[in-house]
Structures are given as structure tokens and as C-alpha cells.
Amino acid sequence: MLVTTKLYIGRKKMVNWIQLSFVCLMLAACANPVAPTGGPRDTDPPVILRSEPENGSVNFDAREIRIWFDEFIQLRGLSQKFLSSPPFIKVPETRIRGKSLVIRFDEELRPNTTYTLFFGDAIADFTEGNAIPNFRYIFSTGPVLDSMELSGKLVNAFTQEPEKEVFVMLYDIYEDSIPLQERPYYISRTNEEGQFYFTNLRNIPYKVFALRDVNANLIYDMPNEEIAFIDSLVHPLAPVRKPVQDTIPGDDIKGDERVLEKDEHKHGEFENDAERNNFLNEQQQATEDSLKQVRKDQALMLHLFNEVDSTQRLEKFEYLHPNKLQFIFRFPVKNLKIEAIPAFDHPWKIPETSSKADTLWYWLTDVDRDTLKLEISAEKLETDTLQRPLTRFQDHRKQKQTDTTVLRLDVRSNLPRTGQADLHKPIELTFSEPIAAIDIERIELLEDSVRILPEIKFRDEVQRFLRIEYPWKDTTHYDLLIPDSVFLSIYGHYNDTLQRSFRTRMRSDYGNIRLNLEHSFTSGQFIVELLDDRGRKLQQKIIPLDSSQLAFLVLMPGKYQVRLIHDANSNGRWDTGVYFEGRQPEKVFVFDKALELRANWDIEETFIIPE
């Protein structure tokens, strides 16, 4: 009996321990905000129950805002998504307290100013991450909420593609230097489509400026910061809304739109704070929707660009090849003059200039110095003195006198090693060094095994680029043979044998694009670029303004785009803007649809170019 009693008592204690452990686990589960198991997944964002002070308050003088929700919340990416307009010098402190969010200000607020705190989708429920979309908290330090609006779109000045995550800023001081000195009065940020919206603005004109803010100080003070500007003051517009379902009793709605009065929303007209917050958010969303749809013709258009220092400069001076110097300038160089110090009494170099005239090469021919000293000057370039040791040049000369190794001339061709060649393109050869002599009779070109006589000529004065032209027949086999030592460079180097076989495409493999141009420009010229579907430039044509038609012929099937630049100063290139001169970037227009070209097709389109 004694043993049995002890066993019973042990079992009873064990049951009590199990019950106690179960109760503790249940209490711990209740104390932690974890997702419940079972049932449908929660997809609803947190609901705002109330806020102190109220959202939409006037005569605001609090140092702290507290917003209560119906569930626990989390803040996701708040530092990237939070935006205040006007901006604060010190970012407000935000912290979660229970089921509420506390926002505290560490600076004095501007008098008689409407503030908008935009949280984006940073506020989400704790368990599932369901975010409140586009949440705003609005208040005024004066007696009314300002209600004027402004909207627009920001695109890249050259590509015309939308620019996202760029600040658009409004100033109530109108000096041109203000974006370089002070933070803006109001601020917005572009979305994925490059669109921006301002609401609750004062009814005054504004200076408009956009900035990709590299150092996050809202001031244009870095040379690599991209900007955009409107060159006149802009007046905001009175709000026009589409009606929302939660209308206020007594609203007078005419048709499908209504104008909101400044004192229309008063706390007494709402049953609770949740109703008030929902109404304000719906009105803000209705504002953006109306700005998108109703006012397309009144939206601002900003073109983002990077200012370029217009001072000409020698960017790089290099000693490349044992016989080659390279000069790289910031811009195409004009009236360039380079003199050796002391001067040579014989020819000592062959100059070569790039197609854009911003790079110069000197092929050294007869330099009997260990160090080369040069004086360089050009239009808009300060005179400078350069000095470069020529050890590699002199070592190369000595090596040539003793080395029996034969150095070869490198030759590259635009012909494919296998497959088909383009019917409309000439054969082009590029040499690693300028050519001094050519034995042209030894070059053989065969058409279906019959020798033909193409036109062979250099297309540059330095003789580094050779072109072989012939009226190719379609679907025909050709053989090109360039034997050893046909070309001799200025340094005494010969080519190796070059042999290529190719077959031309059918004429029906190609298509053509023809454009009719309509515009009202009266000065300058047009630069028209043909792009592939990745935006890479394939061809470029410069045409006068009186040309009403343009054609890109003999094109392979594919998707193409057309970009047109109004070259206002007729310098043959696109020019960026200059802010302090009030000069916008030269206008660029992209044809509004991709051109899908098929084999043996002609596409004809009309390109209407707005001024």
C-alpha cells in the first residue's frame, strides 16, 4: 500500500507540472505578436484608429504626432521612402510604441505653412507585411490647409526615358542662385514613370528645379549632379477632384467633378478619426488621379541633364605605342598648334585626328631625343608645356638594329570569317600603323572564281583605313586574297597573308524605312539617328530643315527606333543645357513607336515633330 501511494502522488505531481507548462506556453504565445496558425491569410493593411493631433489639423503647434493602428506595425525602408514637404533640416524621429507610431520634430516649424509627411508604403502590419499605400499625414501651422496643386513629368534630356527617384523642388525665392544656396520650400520625388505631384501648396508662383541629389543635402553643389529647370515662374492650379464615395454631408457635386474649399474639412463633420484619415487619404489619391488624367495639357515637362564645363582642356597625354603619342581633349579641338622645344629641322611625326576631332595621335618618325618637350595651344585652351621621356621609342630603335625578329603589320577586316556578308557594305581594312607603300596589283578579288577589279582606296590621309568597293551581286560567292607583304608600314613592317571567302545576301533579305517629317522649326538642322531595339546607334544622318523626307535603306529585319535632335547651333552634335545661361538642352524627339521591319518590306511613317 505504501508503494502504491507514492506512485499515485508522483503521478499527480507530474500532471500538475504538465498543466503548469501548458499554461506558461499559452501565456508566452499571447505575449508575442506572431502570426496565428490556420484560417485564411491576412491581406489587409493596418487600419488607422486615431491620431493626435488629428490628420488635417490647422494651427498645429505640437512637437509630436502619435498615430494608433488596429494591430502591431513595422516600418520598412522608411529612410528611403519618407519625404516631407517642406523638407526638415533634421529628419523627424520615428519610433514604434505598442500599436502606434510616434513622430517627433527636433526643429521649429515654419509659420502659416502646410506640411505633408509622405510615408509611401513604409508602414505595414507586423505579421504579413501588408502595407498602407501612399499614406500621408497633413497639417498646417496656420489657420487653413493650403490646397493648390502642381504636377509634371521628368525625362532624360537625351534619351527621353522617364527618370525615377529624382527630387523636384519648388522655391518661393526667385534668384537663379537659390538652388545652390538653400533647401527648397516644397519637395516631391519622381515615381517609376518619372511623374511628380505637389498638393497642398500656397497660392503663389514658384521657381521649379529638379536635382538628382548625390550628397543628400537638397542643394545643387556637386559637378556630377544632374539637374532640370523651368526657365520661368510657375503658378500652381486650384484643385479639381473626382468625387469619392465617402462624401461629406452637404457636398454640392456638379457633374463628375467638384472643387474643394480650403475650410471644407472640419473635425466635427467626421464620426471618428479613422473616418477622417480614410477620407483624407482618398482625397490625396483622387488628387494624383486627377492630376494624371484631367490635366495632362497643364503638366510640366522637365528634361534632366548634366551640365558640362565648357572650358576646353587636355584630358590626357599618353605615350602608347613605342612610336605613338596620344592627346585627348575634353571637346573637339579647333586651331590646334603643337610645337617642339627646341624645334626640329626635319619632319618628325605624322598627325592623325579622330572623327570627332577630340583626339589626336602623333606617329613618331624621326625623333633623336630621349625626352620630348612640346608647347600646345588651341582655341579656348590655355597654352601649356608638356614633357615626356621617350625611352621606349629609343629602346625600340636600338632593338630594331640588333634584333633579327621580323615584326608584322596587323590587319583587321570587317568581313565575317564564315557566313554571309552584307550586300551594301564595302570591304574595310584597318591597319595598326600608317601605310607607306602598297602593291595594289597583288590584291585579288574573285566573283564566282572570276577575277574582278574593285575600287581600292584609302579613306584617310594617314592611310590606316582602306576601302574595297564593288557593286556586289546578291547570293554570289566572292574570294578575297591579300598575299604576304602587300602592305608596308612607315616603320618597315609587312602584313601576313589575309584570305576571306564570303557569300552576299539576297536583295530581298533587306527592308527600308522611309520617314516623312513635319515640323515648324526655322533655324538649325536635324540630326536623325537610327537605333536598334536596345537603343544602340546604328546610323546617323544630318539633314537641313527643309528636308521633308528621310530614308534608311538596305536594313536587316528587326526592330528599330528613330531619334531626332534639333541641332539648334548646327555644330553636328547634341548640346546639353547651361543653367546660369538659362539654356535648356537641345530638344530631342523619339518616334513614338518601334518600327518592326521584315524582309523585303518598306515601312513609311510620318514623324510629327512638335516645337
Read off the C-alpha cell for 469.
568597293
Cα first-last separation, the chain: 109
Q: Look at residue 256 and tell me whether its pLDDT is greater than 80.
A: no
User: For the domain that residue 440 is a member of, what is the CATH number?
Assistant: 2.60.40.3710
pLDDT value of residue 390 = 81
Q: What pairs with residue 104 in β-bridges?
A: 64, 93
As a whole number, the mean pLDDT across the chain is 85
Nearest alpha carbon to residue 145 among 178, 109, 104, 112:
112
* Full domain range(s) for residue 465: 408-506
Q: What is the pLDDT of residue 269?
A: 54
Instruction: Please indicate, yes or no, whether residues 326 and 392 belong to a single structural domain of this protein.
Output: yes
Q: Tell me the pTM.
A: 0.74
**Residue 6 confidence (pLDDT) above 90:** no
**Residue 62 predicted with pLDDT over 90:** yes
Q: Which of 386, 402, 418 is the last residue of a domain?
A: 402
Query: 340: which 3 cell numbers?
Result: 617642339
Q: Are residues 596 and 517 in the same domain?
A: yes
Report yes or no on 144 lying in a domain.
no
**pLDDT of amino acid 299:** 85
Rounding to the nearest 10 degrees, give the CA dihedral for residues 455, 460, 464, 469.
Answer: -20
Task: Name the DSSP letter for residue 248.
Answer: P
Is position 172 within any domain? no
Q: Which of 446, 481, 506 is the endpoint of a domain? A: 506
Strands (E), 354-461: 359-364, 371-378, 381-389, 408-409, 411-413, 420-421, 427-431, 435-438, 444-447, 450-452, 455-458
Question: DSSP for 45-109?
Answer: PPPEEEEESPTTBSS---SEEEEEESS-EEE-SHHHH-EEESPPSSPPEEEEETTEEEEE--SPP
The verdict on residue 232 lying in a domain is no
Distance (Å, whole) CA 568 – CA 427: 36
Overall average pLDDT of the 566-585 stretch = 95
- 529 lies in the same domain as 575: yes
pLDDT computed for residue 547 by the predictor: 94
Q: Does 502 lie in the same domain as 413? A: yes
> 272 in a domain, yes or no?
no
41, three cell numbers: 491569410
Element housing 277 (H / E) = helix 273-293
Give the model's pLDDT for residue 129: 92
Let me know whether 356 and 393 are in one domain. yes
pLDDT interval class at 356 (50, 70, 90): confident
Could you tell me if 601 and 547 lie in one domain? yes
Instruction: Mark whether 537 and 583 lie in a shared domain.
Output: yes
Grade residue 405 by pLDDT with cuts at 50, 70 and 90: low
Phi, psi of 402 (to 5 degrees): -115, -20
Report if residue 281 sits inside a domain. no
Residue 178 lies in a domain: no
Measured CA to CA, the distance from residue 99 to residue 165 in angstroms comes to 31
Q: Provide the strand spans (E) within 157-250.
A: 167-171, 186-189, 195-201, 207-211, 227-229
Residue at 226 is within a domain: no
> What confidence score (pLDDT) does residue 43 get?
87
Q: Quote the number of domains for the chain.
A: 3
Helix (H) or strand (E) holding 153: strand 148-156
Give the number of other Cβ atoms within 10 Å of residue 599's Cβ: 13
**pLDDT of 261 higher than 80:** no
CATH of the domain at 368: 2.60.40
**What are 272's three cell numbers?**
471618428
Residue 19 has pLDDT above 90, yes or no: no
Task: Give the pLDDT of residue 272.
Answer: 58
In the predicted structure, residue 446 carries a pLDDT above the cut 70 = yes
d(CA 359, CA 362): 10
- What is the domain-level CATH number for residue 520? 2.60.40.10
More confidently predicted of 428 and 278: 428
d(CA 381, CA 360): 15
**pLDDT score at 611:** 79
389 and 432 in a single domain? The answer is no
Boundary-marking domain end, from 506, 528, 544: 506
How far is Cα 66 from Cα 101, in angstroms, rounded to an integer?
Answer: 6
The DSSP code for 44 is P
pLDDT of residue 395: 57
* 485 pLDDT higher than 50: yes
Please indicate, yes or no, whether residues 522 and 595 belong to a single structural domain of this protein. Answer: yes
Task: Please give the Cα distance from 306 to 568 (Å, whole number).
Answer: 18
pLDDT at position 265 over 80: no
Could you read off the pLDDT of 32-43 as tens digits, one per residue? 555 555 567 888
**Residue 278 in domain:** no
pLDDT tens digit sequence for 516-532 = 999 999 999 999 999 99
At 96 the pLDDT is: 95
Closest alpha carbon to 247 in 238, 260, 234: 260
pLDDT tens digit sequence for 358-373: 999 999 999 888 899 9
Confidence of residue 273 (pLDDT cuts 50, 70, 90): low
Contact criterion met (CB below 8 Å) for 312 and 331: yes
Closest of 497, 445, 499 to residue 472, by C-alpha = 445
Summarize pLDDT for 295-341 with one digit per residue, the tens: 455 689 999 999 988 788 999 999 887 789 999 999 889 999 999 99
Residue 34 has what pLDDT? 53
Contact 116, 197 (CB under 8 A): no
Mean pLDDT of 554-578: 95
CA distance 543 to 416: 32
413 vs 289, residue with greater confidence = 413
**Cβ partners under 8 Å of residue 429, min gap 6:** 411, 412, 413, 465, 466, 467, 468, 482, 498
Higher pLDDT, 255 or 479: 479
Place of cell 500621408: 136
Of all residues in the chain, the percent with pLDDT exceeding 90 is: 71
CA distance 360 to 364: 13
429 and 365 within one domain: no
**198-249: pLDDT as tens digits:** 999 999 999 999 999 999 899 999 989 999 999 999 999 988 655 444 333 3
Q: Indicate whether 500 and 452 sit together in one domain.
A: yes
pLDDT at 252: 36
Q: Higher pLDDT residue, 555 or 265?
A: 555
541 and 602 together in one domain: yes
Other C-beta atoms closer than 10 Å to the C-beta of 424 total: 13
